[in-house]
Structure 1
C-alpha cells in the first residue's frame, strides 16, 4: 500500500483490503469534522471492477461518522474536483494510471487535493465514536454547464475538424463525447464501453496503436486518449503518431497565452524544457514544483500562477476552473488550436526528447542512503543539482536527469531529457549506473 498526497493506493484485496478502506474513510470523516465546519462529502469512482464495492464501503464509513454523502457514481476525477468546491470534502475512488488490480482513495478538502501538511494531520486523526448517521444522496454534476460558461461554444460547427477519442473504457465515457458535441467537434470513438478496453489504463505509457490507426485511416485532425479516471490526456497527431505527453501541456499553455493572456505558469520539475522555453519566449514567468498534482497546485497558489501542470502525465491544470489535472478541459482547449499554434508547439517540442522509466524497489529501502549514493555517483557529471524532489542533475542547458521516489508506486522513477540526438546516449550512460547503485545497497 502506498500513502502519499496522490492518495492511498494498493492492490485491492491484497495490500488494500476492505478493512483499510473503511479505516481510512472513517479517519477522513473524523478529519473533516475536526477541521472544518461542514459535515458533507461528494464522492465518485472510476470504472475499475472493484470501484462499486469500495464505494459502498466508503459511503457506509462516512455515514457512520455523521457525514452526508453526495454520490456522483462513475465520473472523471476533474468532474469530482469541480463539484467538490461546493462541499467540505471530496473522495475519488481511483488508482488513476496504476494497473487495473489497483484501486485507492484520493482525498479532497475545499475542492483541492491534500497538501503534505494536510496529509500529516489526517494521519494523526483519531476516529470518532459513532454519534449519528449521515444522509446519502445521488447527484448529477454541473461540470458540463460550468465549462460551457467558461469557454463558449462557437455558433457554427467546424465541418473540417474531426478527432478520434480513445476513452480507455474509463470514466470519460459518456462525458467527453457529450462535451465535444457541445462544441460541435465531430469525433470517432473507440474503447467507449465502460469497463472494457483493448489497452491499459495509462495512455502516457501504453502504445495507442488503435487510436493512431483510427486517426490516420480516417484523416482526423487529432486523437485524444484518456486514462481511466479522465485526468490525463495524450494526443495523437494528424499523421497518426502518438505525441509525448508534454505536448498536451504545451498545446494548452500556448492556447491560454495567446487567447487568455496568461503570464504565470507552474510546472513540475520533470516537465519538458520545451514548455519553459515557450513561456519565456512569450514574455511569461515560469515556476517549478515537486512532482505531484497537489505539489504543483500549492506552488501555483504561492506564485499566483494562472495555469501549468505536469508534462510527464499529460496533465494540464487551470486552478480557476479545476484544482487538478483536467483531461476534459485539455481536450476542449486543444480542439480550438489554430494550425499555426500547433506547428509552433511541435517545432519547439521537436528540439527535445524525454525518456521516462521506472525501476521497482523494496518498500523498506532506506531512501536517504540510496540518494546519498546516487548523488555521489552522478554529481561529477552535472553542472548543477536541484534537491527539491529527489535529485535533478542538470547536465547542460538542454539536458537533465531526475531520480525520485514515486508518489504512487513502490518504484524509483528515472527520467531523462536532452536533444533528440543526445537523449539515448544520456540514458545508456546513466540508467545502469543508477540501477547498480540501488542493487548494491
Structure 2
C-alpha cells in the first residue's frame, strides 16, 4: 500500500508514480473524495475513462469503487482519449468527469484530470480533495452508487465529422506515439474524407517507438521522415492522451501551436469579430499582432489547461491556446482542449489551399527555442522564481510581464522563465529576430539564474 502524499496533488491535475506515490488504494480514496465533492455540488453521476497506460485498468476500477462508495453513479467509458471524457460531461447525463491518464509522462506515471460540475478544477479545488481524504472518517454512503459502461466512440466521432467539413480530399500522416489517440484518429480523419497513413497508432503503454509528446522535436522525426517518403501533404501528431496537437509540414517544418493559433484565430474571428483570443505566456510575440490584424483582441494569460479553460469561461472568448498544444475551441465546440478536434479544424482550414505547407510556412516566425527545462529538486523551482522576481535585472528590456513567472520583452525578442506547476522544473523559452539577439537574451537569463543559483545546470 502506498501512503497518501500531498505531492501528487498538482496545480491542475493529480499525478504520481505507480508503486511509489500512486496505487489502487490512493485511486479509491481520490474517487471517494471527488464523489463527495460532486454530491456537494448537486451532481449524482461521474463519467470516467482511461488512456492506454498499463496501470490504467487497476486505477480506473479502484477510482470507480471510491466514487460508488461516496454514493455517486459511475459511467465508465473505458479506453478513450481525455477529450472524450470531457465530451461525455456534455453529451451524457453527468457534468463531472475523471480521466485516468499520465498524459505525456513516462510509462510509470499515471494520474487524474478532473471536471467538477462542468468546470476543470485546479489549485485549491484539487488540494481540497487531499484535505477531504485526510479528514475522512472511513465511512461509505448508505446506498452505494451504480456502475455502468458506455461506448461514446460513435457519438464523439459523429459530432466532429458532422461539424468539420473539408474543402477537398487530402492525404495525411498521423503519429500517435502509441498513445490512446491512436484508437480514434485514423477513423476520425477517414470519416472526414482523408486518406490516412497511421504511425504508431496501436495503443501500447510501454511507448516502444518514441515518447507521445509532440512538444519536443525528437518525437516528430518519424512523422517528418514519413512526409518525405510518401505523398502525404501534412502530418498530425498527438500526445499520450489525445488533448494536444502537433503539426509538421511536407518539408519537415514543425508548426508549433502558437503559430497554429494564428490560423485558428483568423478563422474563428470571421464568426466572432472583435472578440478576445486567449493564449499563454509561452507563445510567440507574433501571435498578438496577428490576432489584432485579424480583428480580435489578444489576451495573454497563465500557462495551464485548467487555468486557460477557467479564463475562457470568465471572458467568453471563443478560442484559447497554449504553446504546449492545448487548443480550446468555444466556437462550434465546447471550450475544452481536444487535439483530435483541433486537428480536424486545422484540416478544414488547410484543405481550402492547394499547398497547405506553403500556408503554414508563411506564418510569421522568429528564431526561437522549444521549451527548455532547468531541472531542480522538489520546491526549488518556486524558491528560485521568487528570488528572480525580487532580484533579477534585465538591461535594455521594454516590458516585464509577471502574470506567470517572468516574461521579459525586448525590442527584438523575449525571454521567459516560469515555474512548472507539475514538476520541479523552471520552464524557459526564448525568441528573437536574429541569432545574435537570441544569444544576447539567453545570456541575460543565464546571468541572473546563475547569480541566484550558482550550481544551476542550464539547458542552453
Structure 2 CA distance for partners of 1:2 and 1:275, relative to 1, 3 Å: farther
Task: Give SS of 2:414's match.
Answer: strand
1:143 matches 2:143: no
Q: 1:116 aligns with which of 123, 127, 147?
A: 123
- The count of residues paired between Structure 1 and Structure 2 equals 434
1:255 CA drift (Å): 3.1
The 5 Å alignment of 1:83-122 reads 83-85=88-90, 86=92, 87-122=94-129
1:239 CA drift (Å): 1.2
What is aligned with 1:233? 245
Structure 2 CA distance for partners of 1:168 and 1:366, relative to 1, 3 Å: closer
8 Å contact from structure 1 (residues 26, 127) kept in 2: no
Q: 2:324 aligns with which of 313, 325, 342?
A: 313
1:342 CA drift (Å): 5.9
Could you tell me the TM-score, scaled by structure 1's length?
Answer: 0.90
Q: 2:33 aligns with which of 14, 27, 31?
A: 27
1:191 CA drift (Å): 0.2
Q: 2:202 aligns with which of 186, 193, 196?
A: 193
1:291 matches 2:296: no
Distance in 1 separating the partners of 2:434 and 2:342: 26
The 5 Å alignment of 1:359-398 reads 359-365=374-380, 367-368=382-383, 370-373=385-388, 375-396=390-411, 398=412
1:183 matches 2:200: no
1:206 CA drift (Å): 4.6
Distance in 2 separating the partners of 1:366 and 1:430: 15
1:350 matches 2:368: no
Q: Give ranges in structure 1 of 5+ residues lacking alignment.
A: none
1:47 CA drift (Å): 0.9
1:407 matches 2:413: no
8 Å contact from structure 1 (residues 69, 137) kept in 2: yes
Task: Give SS of 2:363's match.
Answer: helix
1:2 CA drift (Å): 3.8
What is aligned with 2:4? none
1:249 CA drift (Å): 2.8
Task: Give SS of 2:9's match.
Answer: strand
Cα RMSD of the aligned pairs, angstroms, is 2.5
CA deviation digits over 1:344-391, x for unaligned, max 9? Answer: 553333335244211122213383564224542334453322221122
Q: 1:82 aligns with which of 62, 72, 87?
A: 87
Q: 2:256 aligns with which of 227, 238, 244?
A: 244
Structure 2 CA distance for partners of 1:439 and 1:44, relative to 1, 3 Å: farther
8 Å contact from structure 2 (residues 17, 109) kept in 1: yes
Structure 2 CA distance for partners of 1:199 and 1:41, relative to 1, 3 Å: same
What is aligned with 1:65? 70
